[in-house]
């Protein structure tokens, strides 16, 4: 019971403040890389592509993206290497060597 009293005296913290700290304890480099790619995504691929394609996960060194149609999967097969080069250039490291596409929420 004493522990519960101590916990109730602490100010409440929003989950959006807690979650990034918790995730960084798991795989800080991967989380930082995914966050960097996500935040730079519009600059990496351009607005016309980012409306249809979004980063979904990062499993080093593979970036998994969600697309909103099979036509975009087909399109990305032709631009994938250019996207990989642009990602690595903007991150100033070789973080991504392949991109896998899945139909999913964008």
Q: Convert the pLDDT of each residue in 38-85 to its tens digit.
A: 999 999 999 999 999 999 999 999 999 999 999 999 999 999 999 999
In contact, 29 and 65? CB cutoff 8 Å: no
| Token output for 69 | 């149609």
**Architecture field, domain 28-103:** 2-Layer Sandwich (3.30)
In contact, 86 and 40? CB cutoff 8 Å: no
Instruction: Collapse the DSSP code of 92 into the 3-class scheme (helix H, G, I; strand E, B; otherwise coil) and give the result.
Output: coil
* Max CA distance (Å), the chain: 62
pTM of the full predicted structure? 0.74
């Amino acid at each position: 019971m004493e522990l519960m009293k101590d916990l109730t005296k602490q100010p409440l913290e929003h989950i959006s403040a807690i979650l990034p700290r918790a995730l960084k304890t798991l795989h800080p480099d991967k989380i930082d890389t995914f966050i960097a790619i996500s935040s730079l995504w519009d600059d990496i691929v351009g607005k016309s592509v980012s409306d249809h394609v979004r980063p979904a996960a990062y499993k080093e060194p593979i970036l998994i993206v969600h697309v909103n149609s099979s036509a975009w999967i087909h399109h990305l097969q032709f631009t994938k290497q250019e996207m990989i080069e642009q990602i690595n250039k903007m991150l100033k490291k070789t973080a991504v060597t392949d991109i896998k596409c899945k139909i999913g929420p964008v």
